[in-house]
Structure 1
Amino acid sequence: MEREQLKLQTEDVYEKKENNKNTKRQFCGAIFMSLLAFSYGCTCGWTSSAIVILQSNDTPLITGPINSEQAGWIGSSIGIGGFVANFFFGWLSERVGRKVSLYCVVIPQILSWIFIYTARTPIYLIIARILGGTAGGGMLAIVPTFIAEIADDHVRGILGSLVILFCNTGLFFAYVCGGFFDYYTNPWMMLPFPIAFIILFLKFPDSPISLMKRKRYDEAEESIIFYKSMRTYSKQTKQLLEDEIQKLQSDDDNAEKPSLESIYKSRASRKAILIGIGLMALNQYTGGFALITFTSSIFKESGSNLSLTASSIIVAVIQIFGALTATFLVEKAGRKLMMSVSSFGMMTGLGVLATYSLFKSQGVDLSNYNIVPLLSFSFMIFVGNLGVLTLPFMIVNEIAPAKIRGLASTICMSFCWFFVFTAVNYFPSLMDSLGMHGAVYIFAFNSLIGGLFVLLCIPETKGKSAEEIMRIMEK
């Protein structure tokens, strides 16, 4: 009797191992898609060293060195492309599917590097940055959704965090290339990554949900089998497959098309949108992205005793470390605590950097404190990645009611891209008119306001179910 029970248990364990929802293909798919996030990170980081070159006498432009206004447009026009792409690729992915839309994202990404290489006037670079922003906006509109739709519950958080991690790694790569290679070599260093995505992702199908929405049920079934590495002849697998398809069909049948009217009528929806817009403003007007865009210029102005290349690379490494730390702490410390610490921490780092710059502009001898700009900037980037620069997008998806989650994300991301454009566009002009210390003090003040906003308005969502969060939002 015991021998038969042991045999049955052994067979059951073996069958579970054989039919276990293997996540290998899910990891591979997420990594391959994140190559587009890496490429977008390169787009964001390219300006750091390029702006310094473009403003010097060694500029490759036939029109001569660019001024602060042109530098602002080159840096900020990424927001124009992102704003447009947020709507276009969201619509396109629902019409032709996630995979085809991602392949369309590659086109503006490749064109942007070609325009940068062939640029002879600032308008070429502005067009290149709009194309790069279009690719970035498309990537952010599709990749997180695609990953969420193919990932098992126990790996969804890890796979979802790859997007930010690859963005930061791409930023680091751009800083390294900008420091060690010439202007014309840099675009060729960035081009292989979107091309690699095209090749590596060829055999990966569209997500099951995307296929189901377009009534392609047979392909949806094949997609489930592929991403879960199922063996179709197993009884257990067949039952699992039927459950997955039934769930997808039920979600599709019960899906309610969101509208602005549905948002207006729901208190929870209104609060979620307003809080989301506030979080997007906090994400950009604390200066994180603007400072990253002009990292080398900031260190040049601050008089740091380290080379611009070394300073930028150190900052990029710290940014990656901050994003990884946030990934491990967010479920333990909670969103509200991490956002608060991040906001007030950014205020402190920015305040120190602004004060150092103020003293330097007044002729105070700071030769013994040249390390301060790097330390304060690095601290600001690290604490920023603990919350302000990474968590707002997650929080929006958690506090928004399920039926308007997609629309809420689109609205908030649209505001985010607008804030990107304004923050980056006006930063060089603010530095010219107020000095670097004045511009950075404004960011520090915004961080203070943002921290108070988090304490007073943001609900804690850690460990709470969707129903519990909605009850809080309805109050």
Structure 2
Amino acid sequence: MCKMTPVLRQFSAIFICNLLTLAFGIQSGWAMINFSELQNKNSTFSTGPLTLDEVTLVVSLVNIGGFFGNFAIMSVSKWCGIKRTIHLFGLPLIISALLTIYANNVFLLYASSILSGIVGGALVIGIPSFINEICNDNVRGFLNSIYDPGYNLGVIISFFIGNYLSCLNQAKIQLIVPIIFMIAMFLLPDSPEYWQKRQKEKHALKAHTFYKGSTVNTHIPEHDEFIPKMKNETVEKGKLEEMANNQNMENSTLSLGDFCTPQARKTFSIAFTILLLSITSGTWTMLAYVTDIFEKTGSSLSSKNSSLLISITQIFANVLLLNVIERINRRTLYIWSSILTATSFFAFSIYCLLWMGQPKYEWMPPFCFSCIIFFSCLGLFPIPYILPTEIFQKNIRHTCLVVVVSVIWILSFCYGLVFPSFLEYVDLHFCFIFLGIISLVNAIFGYFFVPETRGKSYEEIMQLLSD
């Protein structure tokens, strides 16, 4: 029998967690691929034809759910730990799929979108937190990067089956992956940190052995509290007890002043600004309305096939990112990704201004859109979600992540509501020029303010931010 190494166990654990990300992508893709179909007067879906405002709200309410999901996971994880909390969030996604299947009015679709968004918001906080608790520094960035390809693979699956199945049958497919996830999560133990906080030393040592290997022979600086330096079991237990007591004391004395230190203000400003600029660049929002954009700009492919091409481009970019995330500096990826994304936006703008509607240039919309998505997925979009999990101090990390990401979810909701009108009433070339300028602002911010965290331990990152 092949024995799994600790690193392989870490990979397996995060892979299982990202099954829920895959399921979230499948459900998100349902609204995207059927954006036009749901408005069709001949729609066969049980709700009947919906208005543009109603379909826009179905797509955008995911962000409202994401807002509540951030706070939900913070509350539940304090009670039962981050691993068990991620496990529990498979249930809302199953309920969301059932609401879509049995929806006979638009309000059930609204409820389904909100529940799906709650899971998405929880995953944005939950999976990076779980990674920080169980994974080594040298694979942290790689494992944090799995979220995007997992989500995008789900969207691809949704787009693919959308070409062959009705809206209702697509919704039924959504039930498969969450059920597999719910079963697989029973195979994983809780993190060492979960047991340490509850002062259960034997369980903490066992969990650490599962995720990190031998507590005697393995030395990982960031997790010294779980790696006793002596073989005597009594000393091991005593050290774990001391660390657990210190951590409990740290948590009990957390106050407003902890969030107002110069370092805390600096990291909060960086995290909030980089996420805000990433969202404002429009790449994420454009994906939600991809079929509508292709119908407006013209293409040699159908809107659904063009959408499938974009999703395949995403997954290709995500796979490439997984191979370079621990080889190329995060800051470098972010800056150059922003510059190349801006260039692609400007090229799309030129097409809309000069060549839109001309048959010999019909290849440009899918090409330009693919370039925008490809380059943004190499840094502009993923790095702003990886960086905050690495730069916050441990005692305030969870709270700060929840606050920052919750605000971003609300802004994404507002942005998603106005974006269709933006496309409808503003010339498309002006839209893409604006988004290109925002992408350049991302590059400028990255050059002057984003710290480099690749391969650095927690202590090294804190020292870097305190300088």
The TM-score, its normalising length taken from structure 2, stands at 0.87
- The question of 1:106 aligning with 2:90 is answered yes
Is residue 2:407 matched to residue 1:415?
Answer: yes
Seen in structure 2, the aligned counterparts of structure 1 residues 239 and 300 have a Cα distance that, compared at 3 Å, is farther
> Helix, strand or coil: the match of 2:166?
coil
Unaligned 5+ segments in structure 2 are: 217-227
Residues 133 and 117 of structure 1, relative CA distance in 2, 3 Å threshold: same
- Measured after TM superposition, the shift of residue 179 of structure 1 is 2.1
Letter paired with 2:146: L
Shift of the alpha carbon at 1:163?
2.4
Rounded Cα–Cα distance in structure 2 between residues aligned with 1:297 and 1:49: 10
Task: Look up the equivalent residue of 1:145 and give its one-letter code.
Answer: S
Aligned residue for 2:119, secondary structure, equals helix
Residue 436 of structure 2 is aligned to residue 441 of structure 1: no
One-letter code of the match for 2:80?
Answer: V
Describe how 1:214-229 pairs up with structure 2 within 5 A: 214-227=198-211
Q: For residues 13-32 of structure 1, what are the structure 2 equivalents within 5 Å?
A: 22-32=6-16
Please say if residues 340 and 375 of structure 2, whose CA atoms lie closer than 8 Å, have aligned partners that are also in contact.
Answer: yes
Name the structure 2 match of 1:192.
176
Which among 312, 315, 326 is matched to residue 317 of structure 1? 312
Q: Does 1:333 align with 2:328?
A: yes
Aligned match of 1:84: 68
Match of 2:164 among 180, 183, 188: 180
Q: CA separation in 2, counterparts of 1:162 and 1:242?
A: 39
Could you tell me which of 272, 277, 283 is aligned with 1:282? 277
Partner of 1:97: 81
Say if 2:421 is the partner of 1:429: yes
Q: Measure the CA separation in 2 of the matches of 1:450 and 1:372.
A: 25
Match of 2:224 in 1: none
Find out whether 1:401 has 2:393 as its counterpart: yes
The sequence identity of aligned pairs, in percent, is 28
Q: Deviations over 1:313-371 (max 9, x none)?
A: 221121112122223323333122211111122212122223323446xxx65210111
Q: CA deviation at 1:443?
A: 2.0
* TM-score computed with the length of structure 1 as normaliser: 0.86
Contact kept in structure 1, 2:141 and 2:454, CA below 8 Å: no
Q: Distance in 1 between matches of 2:362 and 2:169?
A: 32
CA deviation map 1:355-393 (0-9, x unaligned): 323446xxx652101111111111111110111110112
Match of 1:4 in 2: none
Post-superposition Cα deviations, 1:7-53, rounded to whole Å, max 9, x if no partner, equal xxxxxxxxxx99x9544433332221110011112133222211111
Alignment check: 8 A CA contact 2:298 2:357 kept: no
Contact (CA 8 Å) 1:230, 1:237: kept in 2 or not?
no
Matched residues, number = 451
Write the letter of the residue equivalent to 1:366: Q
1:261 to 242, 246, 257: 257
Change (3 A) 1:85 1:24: same
Larger Cα-atom Rg: 1
SS at match of 1:328: helix
User: What does 1:235-314 correspond to in 2, within 5 Å?
Assistant: 239=231, 249=241, 251-255=243-247, 256-257=250-251, 258-264=254-260, 266-314=261-309
Partner of 2:453: 461
Distance in 2 (CA, whole Å) between partners of 1:108 and 1:240 is: 45
- Cα distance, 1:285 vs structure 2: 1.0
Cα contact 2:87–2:182 (8 A) shared by 1: yes
Query: Which position in structure 1 is the counterpart of 2:345?
Result: 350
CA distance in 2, matches of 1:57, 1:297: 16
Amino acid at match of 1:445: I
CA distance in structure 2 between the aligned counterparts of 1:386 and 1:55, rounded to whole angstroms: 34
Q: How far off is 1:219 after superposition?
A: 3.2
Q: What amino acid does structure 1 have at the position aligned with 2:408?
A: C
Residue of structure 2 equivalent to 1:132: 116
Q: Which amino acid aligns with 1:286?
A: S
Q: Which residue of 1 aligns with 2:363?
A: 371
CA contact (8 A) 1:92 1:101 kept: yes
Q: Residue 74 in 1 paired to residue 61 in 2?
A: no
Shift of the 273–105 alpha-carbon distance from structure 1 to 2, 3 Å rule, reads same
Q: Any gaps of 5 or more consecutive residues in structure 1?
A: 1-16
Contact 1:48 1:297 in 2 (8 A): no
Describe the shift of the 1:204–1:329 C-alpha distance in structure 2 as closer, same or farther (beyond 3 A).
closer
Aligned partners of 2:16 and 2:185 also within 8 Å:
yes
Match of 1:383 in 2: 375
